[in-house]
Amino acid sequence: MCRGGRMFAPTKIWRRWHRKIKVNQKRYAVVSAIASSAVPSLVMARGHKIESVPELPLVIGDSAEKTSAAIDILKQTRNRRYISRKGSLIVYGTEGAKLVKAFRNIPGVERLNLLKLAPGGHLGRFVIWTKSAFEKLDSIDGSFDKTSEKKGYILPRSKMVNADLVRTINSDEVQSVVKPIKKKVKRAPMKKNPLKNLNTMLKLNPYAKTARRMSLLAEAQRVKAKKEKLDKKRAQIPKEEAAAIKAAGKAWYQTMISDSDYTEF
């Protein structure tokens, strides 16, 4: 019996573990994840219990110094039993150095990271901001009125001011410009094959009816002649006629022998 042994089909060390992604695409992902953390429906969909949270995004002061004080702030869990829970994500600034010691012993509490903002590619993680960190967002990522510290980066703007598309379409401003509903539906006629449809062929070629009639009559005559020929061949010959045919055959045979170089012995 083999104890231990090697792994079947081990993971190859030359696998391409990492992928290069454009810097602007990374920044877009980070700001999108941060924006989604402020949507209550997305945060609750991930399993966070935020019924008692006063508002999102949640901003707290930089005064928490002990773990007991940090636990009093965090009174939320996720509804999972066997998988390691992803709790709150604490984002703090440089002024919140004391906050690090308060939150470092709590499982599931981590630092700001793109992979931590959206674990498994699912947006809506519950993020707790300190006041100093939240005030730095405008300077780091910029805003619509303020440029970013990142070189050549512009904060992405939303394509629509009002995300309720149905309400926009049914508004008086849009309905007064659009064309009325077409109640009469004009369907294109189905084209028919003239080789299969006689009426369509007659529209294209009026002589087609006469030609078809003549072909049918000729076919009927051929069938009739063939039937008469077969009946004549299959008809029973009378005995007198059969005897006459047999006698004529014998006479021809005798004539052939007498005219040839061979004689009958």
Using a cut of 0.75, tell me whether the model's pTM lies above it.
no
d(CA 90, CA 126): 9
Residues 6+ apart with CB under 8 A from 54: none
Q: Label residue 77 by pLDDT band (50, 70, 90).
A: very low
* Cα 56 to the center of its chain, rounded Å: 35
d(CA 224, CA 8): 82
CA angle 245, 248, 249 (to 5 degrees): 90
CA angle 57, 72, 47 (to 5 degrees): 50
| Mean pLDDT within 219-231 | 94
Q: What pLDDT is attached to residue 201?
A: 92
**Single-letter code of the amino acid located at 102:** A
**Whether residue 9 has pLDDT greater than 60:** yes
The alpha-helical segments, DSSP class H, found in the chain are 23-36, 40-45, 67-73, 97-103, 114-117, 131-135, 137-141, 165-169, 172-175, 198-204, 208-234, 239-259
